[in-house]
Structure 1
Amino acid sequence: MIEDIKAALDVLQKGGVILYPTDTIWGIGCDACNEEAVKKVYAIKNRIDSKSMLVLMENAALIERYVTEIPDVAYDLIELTDKPLTIIFDGARSLAKNLIAEDGSIGIRITTEKFSSELIRRFKRPIVSTSANISGKPSPSCFDEIESEIIDAVDYVVKYRQDDLQKSVPSGIIKLGRSGEIKIIRE
């Protein structure tokens, strides 16, 4: 795992794109603060850039660096959830402009998965995480379901957990308003 982390870090630091395991499904990722890297991810997915992507962080305390106002309930939701949860916050900042939704929001998920968490901790910045599929096609639930078109398009494919056949599912998604109102997007 450590060699994979070092190789992935090198690619991220150079503005490249990785294919990596997350706390949910396999993801395509890059430096969430690098507009050119984000463009590459949109191109790989064949996705229009008005459809924003989420970012992974390894620590809830980091959210304040990337969101202007965080309702107190956000920390409770992160702490109490028993499955991966993506929270869409208003007032995104300090991220690649082409990553932020037209309404100024950003989806953030705190990962506790061993590989992605350690990678982000060492990278010291959030990483884009979007499903490893062409836009509009089904999300792969394990590495074996990822199309070769995706594998060939990224700069580095993480080896760790490729043989894990456990079926994974995407995270739940909620939108959290500045006053703490909650809208469920995906359970």
Structure 2
Amino acid sequence: MSQHYHIEQEVEKALPVLQKGGTILYPTDTIWGIGCDATQEDAVKKIYRIKQRQDSKSLITLVDSIDMLRDYLTLLPPGTEALMAQAKRPLTIIYPDAKGLAPNVISPDGSAAIRVVRHPFCQALVRALGKPLVSTSANLSGQPSPMSYGEIHPAILVGVDYVINLPSGLEDTKPSTIIKIDALGQQTLIRP
């Protein structure tokens, strides 16, 4: 059976969980992540509880395309598409003036960290959901990010509503690069 078939099967299993406000554990283009519908405030609260994390710490959101990204920003800052095209590894950008996301995904200053994901499973899942997906490392707050499924803490495994049954196929075993961009296109490196 092809990987494509397995991706479709897992999307079909995860989709109703996400639509009902549930949480999933899934492979991303970087490390294993915990996710939920990024527009559902109660689902996002569950992730903070699972991770035992303060809700003042921001979460990353995944979108499947520039078009979806535009739907959740007041304005796409100049230079954004060129910045993404030049990225050699997964790139999360903190954008000003986010909209349409759960209030606990948007920072107090109105910004949100969003990545246009290239990972086949993540793209398929976000596309099927039709909304952004929260993506935060699958670790308890203050603990190192797991580099493999075997390193994920048992509390995370039992805390989520569904675990995606796919090999990670990780492109990169480090968290994404993070750059903050303002409305004028000025960039600040947050995490290399």
* TM, length-normalised to structure 1: 0.96
- Please name the residue that 2:184 is paired with: 179
SS at match of 1:128: strand
SS at match of 1:23: coil
What letter is aligned with 1:80? Q
CA distance in 2, matches of 1:96, 1:9: 18
1:8 aligns with 2:14: yes
Q: Are the equivalent residues in 2 in contact too, given 1:55–1:107 (CA < 8 A)?
A: yes
Runs of 4 or more, structure 1, over 2 Å off, are 164-167
CA distance in 2, matches of 1:97, 1:166: 30
- Please name the residue that 2:142 is paired with: 136
- 1:47-73 per-residue CA deviation (whole Å, 9 max, x = no partner) reads 111111010011012111111121121
- Please name the residue that 1:155 is paired with: 161
CA distance in 2, matches of 1:90, 1:12: 26
Q: Are the equivalent residues in 2 in contact too, given 1:142–1:166 (CA < 8 A)?
A: no
CA distance in 1, matches of 2:80, 2:170: 32
Q: Are the equivalent residues in 2 in contact too, given 1:142–1:165 (CA < 8 A)?
A: no
Q: Are the equivalent residues in 1 in contact too, given 2:29–2:172 (CA < 8 A)?
A: no
Q: How do 1:1-187 residues align onto structure 2 when only pairs under 5 Å count?
A: 1=6, 2-161=8-167, 168-187=173-192
Q: Which runs of 5+ in 2 are unaligned?
A: 1-5
The CA RMSD over aligned residues, in Å, is 1.3
- 1:59-102 per-residue CA deviation (whole Å, 9 max, x = no partner) reads 01211111112112111111221210000001011000011111
More deviation, 2-11/20-29: 2-11
SS at match of 1:38: helix
CA distance in 2, matches of 1:3, 1:172: 30
Q: Are the equivalent residues in 2 in contact too, given 1:83–1:171 (CA < 8 A)?
A: yes
SS at match of 2:62: strand
CA distance in 1, matches of 2:175, 2:143: 14
* TM, length-normalised to structure 2: 0.93
Q: Structure 1 pair 166/24, CA: closer, same or farther in 2 (3 Å)?
A: closer
SS at match of 1:97: coil
Over the matched positions of the two proteins, sequence identity in percent amounts to 47
CA distance in 2, matches of 1:171, 1:129: 11
Q: Are the equivalent residues in 1 in contact too, given 2:30–2:172 (CA < 8 A)?
A: no
Q: Are the equivalent residues in 2 in contact too, given 1:30–1:128 (CA < 8 A)?
A: yes
Q: Which runs of 5+ in 1 are unaligned?
A: none
Q: Structure 1 pair 60/153, CA: closer, same or farther in 2 (3 Å)?
A: same
SS at match of 2:92: strand
